[in-house]
Structure 1
């Protein structure tokens, strides 16, 4: 039975332990300070002992495909090389860093962000197939701005090559591996999902796109490990009848294992960008914060649209309440079907949960996964691993309030903004809880 402090190998890269910082939006941008910003955000996790740090979603093209403001693309080789100062900083602490690659497709800023659309009128969305009817209806009602271009077969191959080129740039910049954003409604999920993919060519089977992407990465970036999220669209609304079931997700994990992927991260998601991804309470403080109101208006086009989005967010807060380790059952099933490591994230908050998931201390049910990650808790505690690795009863101070995430729509960085949580972190800092030799 592995323990949290046990090493783990992913695609030939050895991690010093089985705790990782899951991908988040860093909002580091693509300016001269990007490496410094990434280091400020992610290096503390490595310094505190995280075995692996994932850098959040990086678009594979220099323009288009962003799903949030101020994202960091590795499509430009010269810019990517400038990030080596950041990867060196992670390595100096004995950690490993993978970068997550994706393209937003129909979820891109040019679909829903009014200010971005006005500033980039020539951008169109990339689509796997004709957009589904619910999205076309939202377009007619004025909530979205669809101008989608369905990818030809040749264009799909070119998009896969972009993943390979970015992977090669990442390797040159010192990244230890690649993480594909295969869920959260990016274009990778759109290829897998029967809700989005109604193609008639070889890519009608979305796994074929993952196979071509894998081969492109291998041919351009060598043996760099490749990890991918794998979606089960179990949280989609009832009116979505064509979706990926949990059985489908487990089968996808097995097929990706056979293709040569080095690890999988099965996750329960929706077919839409909603709170099924994060779960927890309605972020009322963030919506009411006057510092972000104009940013919300710029993103959604008007005050009434922003208010409508907030109302929908409130409803989702009820529908997708917090659930501890909500991907555990899916991860257990995937682990029985694959020969590569299975990573688990989503709703993990305590050391006791981690030990149970890893099957430590002789748990009767055995291991659920091979490594455990957290995401939002790192916004509240950048040096969280120092506590989790040194205390059997440690618990993250994150309250799952989501006040850290909503302001990112307005271009704000992802940080904890809840006074009670920040006060608790401050007390832990005064007691030296984040110090580590």
Structure 2
């Protein structure tokens, strides 16, 4: 029976265990140039030393105004490649494989004077009003994603994760709550995401898997439910997605609580998003990553053992404990290779 420390192979990606460090923004770019610095190097390397099987570098954007904030990472220039390559090489030295989450914040770009989106409706009244992308601008945006993927390949990443969750740009297109367009990108809510997937796949080796993070459910009134997202994701899988990373929410601010209606807010108890991962697992014949308060090793292990998902993403738990994976192996009684420098501690 599979467990948290069973190896897994997805196309040509061989992982020593099922533990994923999901993208967690550090907001630590110092010069606002989008280039990783020593903080990012130490942050990701320490989680590799700590035993994670797959490390996905935080949301990294395809243009400067596509960032949540000016302190976020970017991949819009070849100048970014060396710093990312340094992180990749270091993580590889300690047995972890690496991915990078390529994204655009769309209307949630807080520092953009004129953010862009599928809509002209701002995220809330504290955000600038976005400009709805024209058809030609959408084609140009797809090209920016492609170029970012090409740079990720030059940096040596083992996989790419495409961010289609949490109310960011791709989510802003496939959400009927947000996207009220009457053109082809409103009539086919999957169209923008499909074109981005195809563009990114064109820069990846055929045997390299593409991961996509999606919000399985929206919590705002008139938001979509898991069945809508599964319908959209069937098109994304046809376009080339090899793994779904299943999260939820992000389409509306907390101040919109009065508009959340019968769906309400998520209860955010331990494992609250696992049922979404299970639904995806039952629907698709590709690997699924579960996420959401899974930092208890017994709970994380049960997600794998019970077949709810194929991998488990532990975000906040690994922010608190860089050695979360090593410590989980002790709790679960799994014998793994420890860094020789730390053996006395175990």
Tell me, yes or no, if the aligned pair for 1:351 and 1:393 is still in contact at 8 Å: no
| Equivalent in 27, 38, 41 of residue 39 of structure 1 | 41
Tell me, yes or no, if the aligned pair for 2:172 and 2:178 is still in contact at 8 Å: yes
1:338 aligns with 2:339: no
Q: How does 1:83-94 map to 2 (within 5 A)?
A: 83-94=84-95
SS at match of 2:74: coil
The residue aligned with 1:128 is 118
The residue aligned with 2:317 is 377
The residue aligned with 1:53 is 55
Query: Per the alignment, do residues 320 and 333 of structure 1 end up closer, same or farther by CA in structure 2, a change over 3 Å counting?
Result: closer
The residue aligned with 2:127 is 144
The residue aligned with 1:400 is none
Structure 1 residues without counterparts, runs of 5 or longer: 111-116, 118-122, 275-308, 313-317, 360-365, 395-431
Distance 2:7 2:232 in 1: 26
The residue aligned with 1:166 is 148
The residue aligned with 2:298 is 352
The residue aligned with 1:391 is 331
The residue aligned with 1:219 is 202
Larger fraction in helix: 1
SS at match of 2:327: helix
Displacement of 1:343: 0.3
Displacement of 1:90: 0.3
Distance 1:230 1:172 in 2: 26
Tell me, yes or no, if the aligned pair for 1:11 and 1:226 is still in contact at 8 Å: no
Distance 2:11 2:134 in 1: 32
Total equivalences in the alignment: 329
Give the structure-1-normalised TM-score: 0.70
Tell me, yes or no, if the aligned pair for 2:277 and 2:308 is still in contact at 8 Å: yes
The residue aligned with 2:274 is 328
Displacement of 1:19: 0.6
Distance 2:149 2:276 in 1: 28
Once the two structures are superposed, residues 92-112 of structure 1 have per-residue CA deviations (whole angstroms, 9 ceiling, x without a partner) of: 0111111111111111113xx
Tell me, yes or no, if the aligned pair for 2:108 and 2:127 is still in contact at 8 Å: no
Once the two structures are superposed, residues 175-213 of structure 1 have per-residue CA deviations (whole angstroms, 9 ceiling, x without a partner) of: 111111211111111011111112223222232112111
Tell me, yes or no, if the aligned pair for 1:65 and 1:109 is still in contact at 8 Å: no
The residue aligned with 2:19 is 19
Tell me, yes or no, if the aligned pair for 1:387 and 1:434 is still in contact at 8 Å: no
Distance 1:90 1:51 in 2: 10
Distance 1:320 1:266 in 2: 15
Larger Rg: 1
Query: Per the alignment, do residues 353 and 343 of structure 1 end up closer, same or farther by CA in structure 2, a change over 3 Å counting?
Result: same
Tell me, yes or no, if the aligned pair for 1:106 and 1:126 is still in contact at 8 Å: yes
| Equivalent in 190, 210, 214 of residue 207 of structure 1 | 190
Once the two structures are superposed, residues 140-167 of structure 1 have per-residue CA deviations (whole angstroms, 9 ceiling, x without a partner) of: xxx3332x22111111111111111111
Distance 2:20 2:253 in 1: 24
Give the structure-2-normalised TM-score: 0.87
Tell me, yes or no, if the aligned pair for 1:55 and 1:97 is still in contact at 8 Å: yes
| Equivalent in 252, 257, 273 of residue 272 of structure 1 | 252
Distance 2:332 2:99 in 1: 27
Q: Cα RMSD between the aligned structures?
A: 2.6
The residue aligned with 2:235 is 255
Query: Per the alignment, do residues 234 and 219 of structure 1 end up closer, same or farther by CA in structure 2, a change over 3 Å counting?
Result: closer
Distance 1:183 1:351 in 2: 25
Structure 1 range deviating more: 150-159 or 248-257 = 248-257
Q: How does 1:69-108 map to 2 (within 5 A)?
A: 69-108=70-109
Structure 2 residues without counterparts, runs of 5 or longer: 259-263, 335-341
Structure 1 range deviating more: 64-73 or 220-229 = 220-229
Tell me, yes or no, if the aligned pair for 2:58 and 2:101 is still in contact at 8 Å: yes
SS at match of 2:234: helix
SS at match of 2:148: helix
Tell me, yes or no, if the aligned pair for 2:66 and 2:115 is still in contact at 8 Å: yes
The residue aligned with 1:286 is none
